[in-house]
Structure 1
Amino acid sequence: MATTHSTPIRPKNKGQKVIFKNPILERLTRTHIAVPISIFSVFSAGLIYYAFTYAQLPAYLIGTLFLSGLLIFSFIEYLVHRYAFHMDTDTELKQKLQYNLHGVHHEYPKDKGRLAMPPVVSVLLAVGLLVAFNFVIGEYTYAFLPGFIMGYASYLFVHFIVHAYQPPKNLFKILWINHSIHHYKDNNKAFGVSSPLWDYVFRTLP
């Protein structure tokens, strides 16, 4: 896999970026972190309930599919962060796209309102994933997708705490340190937020 080369952005630890002049559109770009995490947690719990109650799946398979969803999400998280959020910015269009997708977060990393997608997008994403996975893997979706979604919820939680709080004295400390290196020292390292696994595999660990 090739190394990405997104344009470095000097972080500002105060303030926030106004993306839309229209206050309604601007408000729709922001959310409290608890909102999407709650949406995904409830959605995941509902799917698991359906898997146990209505889908013809044994318990061991539900557990295996759930853990597989968690693992696959961590891989997707790494790929999206590395190759979409930090795409080559060799054209003006790519520069604008990369900034709106992720660059604004690197410029204002302490802006808690933009550490997750807004609720409307979260709901649309959850429903879209349900339809897509159901088309591909059928009833296995009701056990796999909850793991995938909870992987995303875990990413949101970790991403929030590493930006909102000082480094903890527990297992989250290494995640806090890695993500701080990504923001303040080298944005071509430490693409994994919820886990350093794929940074270790692809040698992008700081």
Structure 2
Amino acid sequence: MENKAKNSGTGRVFKNPILEKLTRTHISMPLIAFSVVSSYLIYTGASEYGLNAITLVLLFLAGMLAFTFVEYLMHRFLFHMPETTPARKKVVYTMHGVHHDHPKDRDRLAMPVPLSLTISFLFFWLFRFAMGELVWGFLPGFLMGYAGYLWIHFMIHAFQPPKNFFKFFWVHHGIHHYKQPERAFGVTTPIWDLVFRTMPNK
């Protein structure tokens, strides 16, 4: 992906003004939506399926870790897939390329809520099929992992880096945007970059 990043302005994804409007999302909307959904899932798991607090906590943490893996895979292999055809180039630009071109555009740092909730519903049935009633603890962790990713990603692009340990997140993701787009795919954690050897070159 060519580095054409602009630190101001915005890009256009669709010519249709309605579709274009639907691609923009205020960061608070998915954070609220997934917090509410996750709370409901945990309550249901405890009240209707008898999952105890320890089980819910362990499942929640497992779900968060699983999300970081999915985040890495999607960022590396889907959002940065080779643009070998015009159709692929359009898909990459729509999903992620517009963000690389305009990384400071705050309205393009989250997936539209209706789409993300639809995908979450599909994950619910996938996890329900795979793990049965444990989904009521695992999926909330997965969804809040996504919410955590959104918040960290938003802070990186919207605010100046802090003068403490957390500056690492700004530096790591900044290298991906401005220096080495083929590396540093992890946003919430560098664990998978370490595992799959995609940490930035020194």
TM over 0.5: yes
Residue matched to 2:182: 188
Is 1:139 matched with 2:133? yes
1:92 maps to which of 79, 86, 90: 86
State the distance in 2 between where 1:198 and 1:120 align: 29
State the distance in 2 between where 1:90 and 1:28 align: 27
Is 1:65 matched with 2:74? no
**Aligned-partner SS, 2:11:** coil
How many residue pairs are counted as aligned between the two chains?
200
Contact 1:192/1:199 (CA < 8 Å) preserved in 2?
A: yes
How far 1:61 moved relative to its partner?
A: 1.7
Residue matched to 1:13: 7
1:40 maps to which of 20, 34, 46: 34
Contact 2:3/2:178 (CA < 8 Å) preserved in 1?
A: no
Residue matched to 1:112: 106
Residue matched to 2:25: 31
**Aligned-partner SS, 1:190:** coil
Consecutive unaligned residues in structure 2, runs of 5 or more: none
> Could you say what the CA RMSD is over the residues aligned between the two structures, in angstroms?
1.2
State the distance in 2 between where 1:170 and 1:63 align: 29
Runs of 4+ in 1 over 4 A off after TM superposition: none
Residue matched to 1:75: 69
State the distance in 2 between where 1:24 and 1:91 align: 27
How far 1:84 moved relative to its partner?
A: 0.5
User: CA offsets, 1:76-131, max 9 Å, x none?
Assistant: 10010000011112222222221111111100111100100112112212222222
**Aligned-partner SS, 2:103:** coil
How far 1:54 moved relative to its partner?
A: 1.3
Residue matched to 1:125: 119
State the distance in 2 between where 1:203 and 1:16 align: 33
For structure 1, which segment, 75-84 or 92-101, has the greater mean C-alpha deviation from structure 2 after superposition? 92-101
User: CA offsets, 1:138-188, max 9 Å, x none?
Assistant: 110000000000100000000000000111123421011100000000101
1:175 maps to which of 140, 165, 169: 169
For structure 1, which segment, 184-193 or 118-127, has the greater mean C-alpha deviation from structure 2 after superposition? 118-127
Is 1:198 matched with 2:198? no
State the distance in 1 between where 2:165 and 2:134 align: 32
Contact 2:81/2:92 (CA < 8 Å) preserved in 1?
A: yes
Consecutive unaligned residues in structure 1, runs of 5 or more: 1-6
